[in-house]
Amino acid sequence: MAETGFQPVSGFDLPRFAGIASFMRLPMIGLDDPRLPQVDIGLIGLPWDAGTTNRPGPRHGPRQVRDMSTMIRAQHGVSGVRPFETVNCADLGDVPPNPADLSDAMDRITKAVTRVHKAGILPVCVGGDHLCTLPVLRALAADAPLGLIHFDSHTDLFHSYFGGSMYTHGTPFRRAVEEGLLDPARMIQIGIRGTAYDSEDRAFAAEQGIRIVTIEELFDRGLKDVMAEARQIAGTGPTYVSYDIDFVDPAYAPGTGTPEVGGPNAFQALQVVRELAGVNIAGADLVEVSPPFDGSGGTAFLAASILFEMLCIIAPALAASRRVD
Amino acid sequence: MAETGFQPVSGFDLPRFAGIASFMRLPMIGLDDPRLPQVDIGLIGLPWDAGTTNRPGPRHGPRQVRDMSTMIRAQHGVSGVRPFETVNCADLGDVPPNPADLSDAMDRITKAVTRVHKAGILPVCVGGDHLCTLPVLRALAADAPLGLIHFDSHTDLFHSYFGGSMYTHGTPFRRAVEEGLLDPARMIQIGIRGTAYDSEDRAFAAEQGIRIVTIEELFDRGLKDVMAEARQIAGTGPTYVSYDIDFVDPAYAPGTGTPEVGGPNAFQALQVVRELAGVNIAGADLVEVSPPFDGSGGTAFLAASILFEMLCIIAPALAASRRVD
Amino acid sequence: MAETGFQPVSGFDLPRFAGIASFMRLPMIGLDDPRLPQVDIGLIGLPWDAGTTNRPGPRHGPRQVRDMSTMIRAQHGVSGVRPFETVNCADLGDVPPNPADLSDAMDRITKAVTRVHKAGILPVCVGGDHLCTLPVLRALAADAPLGLIHFDSHTDLFHSYFGGSMYTHGTPFRRAVEEGLLDPARMIQIGIRGTAYDSEDRAFAAEQGIRIVTIEELFDRGLKDVMAEARQIAGTGPTYVSYDIDFVDPAYAPGTGTPEVGGPNAFQALQVVRELAGVNIAGADLVEVSPPFDGSGGTAFLAASILFEMLCIIAPALAASRRVD
Amino acid sequence: MAETGFQPVSGFDLPRFAGIASFMRLPMIGLDDPRLPQVDIGLIGLPWDAGTTNRPGPRHGPRQVRDMSTMIRAQHGVSGVRPFETVNCADLGDVPPNPADLSDAMDRITKAVTRVHKAGILPVCVGGDHLCTLPVLRALAADAPLGLIHFDSHTDLFHSYFGGSMYTHGTPFRRAVEEGLLDPARMIQIGIRGTAYDSEDRAFAAEQGIRIVTIEELFDRGLKDVMAEARQIAGTGPTYVSYDIDFVDPAYAPGTGTPEVGGPNAFQALQVVRELAGVNIAGADLVEVSPPFDGSGGTAFLAASILFEMLCIIAPALAASRRVD
Amino acid sequence: MAETGFQPVSGFDLPRFAGIASFMRLPMIGLDDPRLPQVDIGLIGLPWDAGTTNRPGPRHGPRQVRDMSTMIRAQHGVSGVRPFETVNCADLGDVPPNPADLSDAMDRITKAVTRVHKAGILPVCVGGDHLCTLPVLRALAADAPLGLIHFDSHTDLFHSYFGGSMYTHGTPFRRAVEEGLLDPARMIQIGIRGTAYDSEDRAFAAEQGIRIVTIEELFDRGLKDVMAEARQIAGTGPTYVSYDIDFVDPAYAPGTGTPEVGGPNAFQALQVVRELAGVNIAGADLVEVSPPFDGSGGTAFLAASILFEMLCIIAPALAASRRVD
Amino acid sequence: MAETGFQPVSGFDLPRFAGIASFMRLPMIGLDDPRLPQVDIGLIGLPWDAGTTNRPGPRHGPRQVRDMSTMIRAQHGVSGVRPFETVNCADLGDVPPNPADLSDAMDRITKAVTRVHKAGILPVCVGGDHLCTLPVLRALAADAPLGLIHFDSHTDLFHSYFGGSMYTHGTPFRRAVEEGLLDPARMIQIGIRGTAYDSEDRAFAAEQGIRIVTIEELFDRGLKDVMAEARQIAGTGPTYVSYDIDFVDPAYAPGTGTPEVGGPNAFQALQVVRELAGVNIAGADLVEVSPPFDGSGGTAFLAASILFEMLCIIAPALAASRRVD
């Protein structure tokens, strides 16, 4: 049972438009806060987008997601899960980025997430662009490679851009495989679509044994069938969940830098997360929300809703595993 | 057959961007107009949102719906119904609200709708927030409780907010049941979703026998099946139809104060209305269109399209019942 | 095999936000350019909207589509087709419109497209409003009537507007049939929906034998079944494809002047184009993108994605037919 | 003293967001209304923009100005003038335009304004683009040429566009002079700025003796000094006032089709109107408000404020002249 | 000298887009925080707008001002004042509003500000609409009436609205005078403009001896001269400063509910605050920022800049007065 | 006299919304184009913003400026200068940026501008963020330091950010002085305002003898007086003009990443450029236009207007100097 001090402020007490905006209105507990050891799940902002190859802006993502997440309430509408009462959740603040130095910025993320990880906290990260995932994986997979369930319209498996740049938001999973942070046999990428430069990324996936599910396959087979396969691929080992908001159709999530038309709707965007129940989740992220391309906040509200779905899967599993321990 | 004087201006004669905007370009007939007794269906604006607990703005709804409704033409595309030739429809103007006095504002609505009701006019109200429905019900159910078919993402069945405030847009149907304005056995709420504070509203529904259809059930069973059940629950008695625009997914209806992702699309939003054929409709509303959150007018245009669907169901039924009389 | 000189600039070399925006980043080859005879498919802008009866703006369409089309890459994600390597594609620029003289403007389009047509180039036009299609058909059907596969929410088959005006974006296909540019027996209109003035357009269609598929029929039967019928109706003769962006639901394509709610989603918007494989396409257009009603560019990006789907159908067929020749 | 029936609805009684939007919340009196002969000043919408050479949209101007004009109250803040109590003002509705036929559209305007003029009503027109002014002048100057005080960033004195088109929003005053509707010796154009095609317009002005005041001269001499000259040029004869909203700097009035940076601010935009006191105004217009380029309504609110300033000058003069009569 | 713990986060260390947004990036110190007694100046959010008579939204003001205030740095550009090093400043959070009960909401504000006041903290409040000022004055003027320097385009001195409602954002200063919270002889209202209902407010001002400076007088005399008079009127007694953002021209501050065109520019908006040096300021507010009407945040950034100017005047004076003590 | 081939397309021939958008509708002449040696002034896009420390987006600047620059005509409204007939102007395209490698990106700019410079072309660059200026100066000042006239709200003279990052848009002029690219004694920075981190930048300026003119001084003395001083400081030696769009007040130029309220208006923004007549301009730039923060294009239109003013100063001077040669 979660500590009372870790409850979000209720909209019945303080209207949702009032108060300082933390993720889900949870207590703000910095990495030096004495309450840190009590935290079970830590929401962490990664306001960094130096890997963006086209339209920038995800550096503003965490703040807008915090703002819109004040509209999230305490209980899941279908399952009745109350994640904040199940385990202790907190907003751990943002990792301070260095927008002017790509390498330094990645190190900062790795260090901060390593610290969180070593404190026994399961990190749920809010980007930032998809390159953010690489330094997070360096922190979480320092000992052994992780499985990956990856929702996206792009594979992000390219070798390099612009005449040799190895670190962009189109390359993180290529790097992660090369660095041994992910186990290709336990990787699945779901929702892939849009025009392609060439087949280099898919050739790499085929060579490594990474499973790619295109949007056509996803719609043909149905979400439940594909997610059953995803659970099987991930198996029982620790698995990372990476959710790029451009997985969702841009009518539902226009606030992103590299949209691809023809994706899932918002209902489906939530359903795939519900189907993660049973996966041994070691960490998760939600990336590529770009506020300058959706001032309305609708994309960020969808992102917050997806994050809550994640918490409703992770929190009970975490509580159960600890009871076992 | 409707009087010639009650026809909307045609876009073939006066382009849709021209002319003063009344609902559906219908004649404007105030409550003191001598033509009032000839009106069969009265479109009424309720520009009031003092019950809004989060993002305000529905007070601006009627004017934006009027503006966008100028793009509605005279004939239903599928059924061929021409509602304005079937019965006499008119824009009765707005009920003058008091934004600074909640109790006075509700009384004003009840009085105006009572007057319309007593004139034998079937009211179709355009909100305003969902608290507007309560004073409308007080006018229409003064003699006997009504049935309710309610499209929404929220139940609006809560007891109170903010330490005891009984009248907000989250409480109207709780109050209406308590006041005997609605018959719980003839109530159905469709499309319920999103995160929840707790289960208080659903416990009340269960206790009272109010039927709740979640979005998951709606999508699993299909619209036609659920609507068949709705017609059965409503039965043959007089029934009120209340349509909160946040029933629809926010990608289609972003202009609302408390959106919940993962709802029906616009095609489905219209289909549920078509399935109301056969219901004994005593009045209807469309609420929670909030222009400050959708300056494009897309939400209001969807609202106008839904209102036209309602008219195409109500008008023939009304004409038929009068022929019988 | 396409000439090297006709390749688009790659986003790996020049980021997508950089460089002057031509359609798909293709070379710009004006009608007086010596390379014109080498072009196989010519993308042509028709920045003209004097036929618009309601909300204006499609005159700005070509430029915004060019801008957003810089996000299109070289290869189709599913079929692997690389149209720019298959045949020579180019941006032929805009036909200079006369916004102040409707008749002169139509003549300018007919002359320019005639010149392109006589140069053996297959034109893919980007509007502009739907009246643009009429002068294009005058150029392409000068010798014999064409078949038509038409995606739209409106039939555009009306006789006249505003007391006798014969040339508006609601009349082009009526005129084209009257002028013998289209063969009614080989015409199909798909996606028709929305409120109607009356049944005049449908009566004309019935009388002429033009096939109309409403949105209800499209969703009931499924896209593949309807498109099989479309291919059958078009037969083996030369066929024009006209795609009004308001075919798509306004949640996906808000940037248009006469939206109708309840249409296909973006995935479906692309699928219908894929199902054109096998049709003998003589020319195509994408019209009614109105930037003032979607400053975000999302509608234009969808339009660019649809245009790329068209190219991936047309280019291989063209290459095959020429190999046969 | 104005009739009671011609008073606008007060915001103390009906909040400004409520009610159907007519100009200044005045009574709506169509040209066939029996009360027409009682009207002294008639606000008329001219929703037509077929003369626009660049960004379209002023056809939507009258409706947005009506909407925002509901924020105008009954009394001038400085002079204390209450124009609606001084003479009878009314919203005469829109002249039905023909967006598809330039010549027919102009005739419709001339006919309607002639009818208003002959009824003894002083017309204050709300555009529409600047070409609207030409048919208005044809109505008002049928007997004798008028003087002109013209606020604009452009002279609109060009001969023709696009290879000979004589009727665009860049030519109305050239045509009006040629047609003998304006007396060049009594014409002044104030605020001219921006880049120029060439000097053809200024050469025409010089040749005809039309006075042009550039923005540099306006700022150097000051508004009061320039307006004194304007009053002197206009003299005692009947004078038309034409106000193009692009006279004002686009930071204050972005909603227009051909903005020119570096213009007057909003305070100055009102001041020049106040300095019209003493001019024998025979009619006036406010044109080029283009809602698609300012969804916020700020430009339309400025336009409504300018219109109210006009009424506060015209109404007392009209009342005084009638007392004299 | 301020405590180190009360310094804002520097943009050199943490980029301005990163981190949880508190006012000026100051430490968040709730009313129950043990550090409260160390605070000298407390920034307090009042997210409440139930007094709004027209366009709602200021309830969202404090959060957007917090967000945009992260762009404010530590030092005044001209005076070199570093307010956060001069005294201890903090973000005290928001007073929990009750959007559904006007009377309860005002009591909550009065209680919270009383508590702050009694803790010896000078409150700088961020609204919220202008009715918020009344309960703040009830807290600060409990013992003796205050002077008032009031920047606004409206007097807010009306008696009542909508048939007798006494508490709206158009009445707070009338109520405050009636309740003895303000000394009319020490009141000045600057920037008054726009259309008026009637002269009731000005008659009250004249009767009470309240000084009103219209925008015409402000521009004619110049800011410095008017502000010298303001300092003289306020005298040496404790004075409240109330700044309605609609004092500024809507081109600079569009995000407000009741704009009036023709106001000061942003440079002038800051200058009037600088001229407050020497006034004995007992409390201050900045109200009527309405984010739904300016999603860009420009209005909120101007508000944050004005608040920083206030702090640069208040902090040194406070430090000086304490040194004297 | 300029070659005929270098004339922009006239809006009388091709409406401004039509055609592919190059800067000022000038011919597009890449660096490998055989016509390159004929070019006198080259407009160059620098779509790069990796130095941005806060809100990103100037990478999209060149394209939006190109788009809006199609509204610029051929002749200066006041001076009558026709720059495109005076010398040969062309759009040289964009320097291909590397958004993922700061050092590579700067090298690319230096190389491209060096090539232009060696071809005898005077470069006018369109950013991109202000860090772009540093590699441009490395190209132009390779032989000898330049003077600088710099319009901005910030000095951009800081040493480093984020714990040592030396290359951001806050440091270019510090680096340029350190690298000997600028002569401090011939540098003037005009319009400086806003809050400050500290006085480090001003201390550096004082130490180096760089002249800083704050906005207060600019407004007090007047533009002409300050610009006279600027001309004196620049002297007769070759001088670079750098114009950051945030020099202008954000009401006029909201589309920028680090706005500071209280700046010049658009009229003044143009006047300062006119006062550059007589300066020996060796190159110029206009930077920091960020389209994601102004989708309306108003900021970019102001930028295009400023660029045209620059051309009207540079072209005649260039023509004169060549006649002398």
Smallest CA-to-CA distance from A292 within F254, C319, F136 is with F254
The H or E element containing residue F42 is strand F41-46
The H or E element containing residue A223 is helix A223-234
Smallest CA-to-CA distance from B49 within B61, B59, B37 is with B59
* Alpha carbon distance F218, F212 (integer Å): 10
Q: Using H for helix, E for strand and C for coil, what is the string for D176-206?
A: HHHCCCEEEEEEEEEEECCCECCCHHHHHHH
* Alpha carbon distance C50, D50 (integer Å): 8
Residues of E in contact with B100 (CB under 8 A): 50-51, 53, 102, 161-162, 165, 167-168
Distance of CA D60 to the CA centre of its chain: 16
Q: What share of chain D is helix, strand, coil (3-state, %, to 5)?
A: 40, 20, 40
Q: Which of A13-22, B4-13, C208-217, D205-214 has the lowest mean pLDDT?
A: B4-13
Closest residue on chain F to C64 (Cα): F67
Strand order in the sheet with C281-287: C89-94, C41-46, C122-127, C281-287, C239-244, C146-151, C182-192, C211-214
Best E101, E168, E294 residue to mutate vs chain B (most B CBs within 10 Å): E101
pLDDT tens digits for C83-103?
999 999 999 999 999 999 999
Q: Place D3 in a pLDDT band, splitting at 50, 70 and 90.
A: low
Give C 223-242 residues with CB within 8 A of chain A.
none
Best C246, C261, C265 residue to mutate vs chain B (most B CBs within 10 Å): C261
Q: Is the peptide bond before C128 cis (omega within 30 degrees of 0)?
A: yes
E87 to chain B, closest Cα gap in Å: 35
Residues of F in contact with A102 (CB under 8 A): 100, 102
Query: What does the pLDDT read at residue F4?
Result: 67
Q: Place E322 in a pLDDT band, splitting at 50, 70 and 90.
A: confident
Query: What does the pLDDT read at residue E323?
Result: 75
pLDDT tens digits for A162-214?
888 999 999 999 999 999 999 999 999 999 999 999 999 999 999 999 999 99
Taking the CA atoms of residue A57, residue A63, residue A69 and residue A70 in that order, the dihedral angle to the nearest 10 degrees is -140
pLDDT tens digits for F114-170?
999 999 999 999 999 999 999 999 999 999 999 999 999 999 999 999 888 999 999
Pairing relationship of beta strands F146-151 and F182-192 according to DSSP bridges: parallel
The 8 Å CB, 24+ separation contacts for D7-10 are D7/D74, D7/D84, D7/D85, D8/D74, D8/D84, D10/D73, D10/D74, D10/E197
* Contact status, residue D215 vs residue D191, Cβ threshold 8 Å: yes
Is pLDDT above 90 for D20? Answer: yes
* Contact status, residue B42 vs residue B121, Cβ threshold 8 Å: yes
* Alpha carbon distance C114, C103 (integer Å): 17
Q: Beta-carbon neighbour count of residue A288 at 10 Å?
A: 32
Are D72 and E215 a contacting pair at CB < 8 A? Answer: no
Query: What does the pLDDT read at residue F322?
Result: 80
* Contact status, residue A109 vs residue A131, Cβ threshold 8 Å: no
Are E252 and F254 a contacting pair at CB < 8 A? Answer: no
Q: Beta-carbon neighbour count of residue F35 at 10 Å?
A: 14
pLDDT tens digits for A232-274?
999 999 999 999 999 999 999 999 999 999 999 999 999 999 9
Angle formed at CA B265 by CA A260 and CA C62, multiple of 5 degrees: 45
Are E13 and F195 a contacting pair at CB < 8 A? Answer: no
Q: Is the peptide bond before F128 cis (omega within 30 degrees of 0)?
A: yes
Q: Is the peptide bond before C51 cis (omega within 30 degrees of 0)?
A: no
Q: Using H for helix, E for strand and C for coil, what is the string for chain C?
A: CCCHHHCCCCCCCCCCCCCCCCHHHCCECCCCCCCHHHCCEEEEEECCCCCCCCCCCHHHHHHHHHHHHCCCCCECCCCCCCHHHHCCEEEEEECCCCCCCHHHHHHHHHHHHHHHHHCCCEEEEEECCHHHHHHHHHHHCCCCCEEEEEECCCCCCCCCECCCECCCCCCHHHHHHHCCCEEEEEEEEEEECCCECCCHHHHHHHHHCCEEEEHHHHHHHCHHHHHHHHHHHHCCCCEEEEEEHHHCCCCCCCCCCCCCCCCCCHHHHHHHHHCCCCCCEEEEEEECCCHHHCCCCHHHHHHHHHHHHHHHHHHHHHHHHHHHC
Chain A CB within 8 Å of residue F52 CB: yes
Which phi and psi (to 5°) does residue A99 adopt? -65, -10
* Contact status, residue C243 vs residue C285, Cβ threshold 8 Å: yes
* Alpha carbon distance C69, C300 (integer Å): 8
What angle, 0 to 180 degrees and rounded to 10, lies between the N-to-C axes of helices D266-274 and D298-324?
10
The partner residues of D188 in beta bridges, in order of sequence, read D149, D211
Chain E CB within 8 Å of residue D162 CB: no
Q: Beta-carbon neighbour count of residue B164 at 10 Å?
A: 11
pLDDT tens digits for A59-95?
999 999 999 999 999 999 999 999 999 999 999 999 9
- Written as one letter, the residue type at C266 is A
- Written as one letter, the residue type at D268 is Q
Smallest CA-to-CA distance from C240 within C289, C181, C190, C193 is with C181
* Alpha carbon distance F271, F281 (integer Å): 17
Is pLDDT above 60 for D1? Answer: no
Question: Which of D54, D198, D249 has the CB atom closest to F75's CB atom?
Answer: D198
Are A100 and F292 a contacting pair at CB < 8 A? Answer: no
Mean pLDDT value of segment E204-213 = 98
Q: Is the peptide bond before F298 cis (omega within 30 degrees of 0)?
A: no
* Alpha carbon distance C297, C215 (integer Å): 26
Are A249 and C269 a contacting pair at CB < 8 A? Answer: no
Three-class SS of residue A213? Answer: strand
Which phi and psi (to 5°) does residue B60 adopt? -85, 0
Q: Which of A25-34, C5-14, D75-84 has the lowest mean pLDDT?
A: C5-14
Tokens for B205, please give them.
């529904």
Chain E CB within 8 Å of residue A30 CB: no
DSSP-assigned states of every residue in E262-305: S---HHHHHHHHHTTTT--EEEEEEE---GGG-TT-HHHHHHHH
* Contact status, residue D184 vs residue D224, Cβ threshold 8 Å: no
Q: Enumerate the H helices of B24-165 as residue ranges.
A: 61-69, 83-86, 102-118, 133-140
- Written as one letter, the residue type at A141 is A
More confident residue, A3 or E178: E178
Tokens for C171, please give them.
């009349």
* Alpha carbon distance C233, D67 (integer Å): 49
Q: Place D12 in a pLDDT band, splitting at 50, 70 and 90.
A: confident
What single DSSP character describes residue F28?
B
Distances (CA, A) of A304 to A62, A68, B194: 10, 7, 12
The H or E element containing residue D244 is strand D239-244
Query: What does the pLDDT read at residue F219?
Result: 98
Is pLDDT above 80 for A290? Answer: yes
Mean pLDDT value of segment E258-275 = 98
* Alpha carbon distance F139, D173 (integer Å): 51
* Contact status, residue C255 vs residue C211, Cβ threshold 8 Å: no
Neighbours of chain E (3+ CB pairs under 8 A): A, B, D, F
Residues of D in contact with E155 (CB under 8 A): none
Closest residue on chain D to C49 (Cα): D56
Chain-wide mean pLDDT for chain A? 96
Q: Beta-carbon neighbour count of residue F199 at 10 Å?
A: 12
Q: Place C312 in a pLDDT band, splitting at 50, 70 and 90.
A: very high
Chain-wide mean pLDDT for chain E? 96
Three-class SS of residue B209? Answer: coil
Is pLDDT above 90 for A30? Answer: yes
Residues of F in contact with E78 (CB under 8 A): 214, 216
Query: What does the pLDDT read at residue F149?
Result: 98
* Contact status, residue A218 vs residue A269, Cβ threshold 8 Å: no
Is pLDDT above 60 for E234? Answer: yes
Is pLDDT above 60 for B219? Answer: yes
Distances (CA, A) of A103 to A113, A172, A303: 16, 13, 27
pTM: 0.97
Give per-residue burial for F209-246: e unless 16+ CB within 10 Å, then b.
Answer: ebbbbbbbebbeeebeebbeebbebbeeebbbbbbbbb
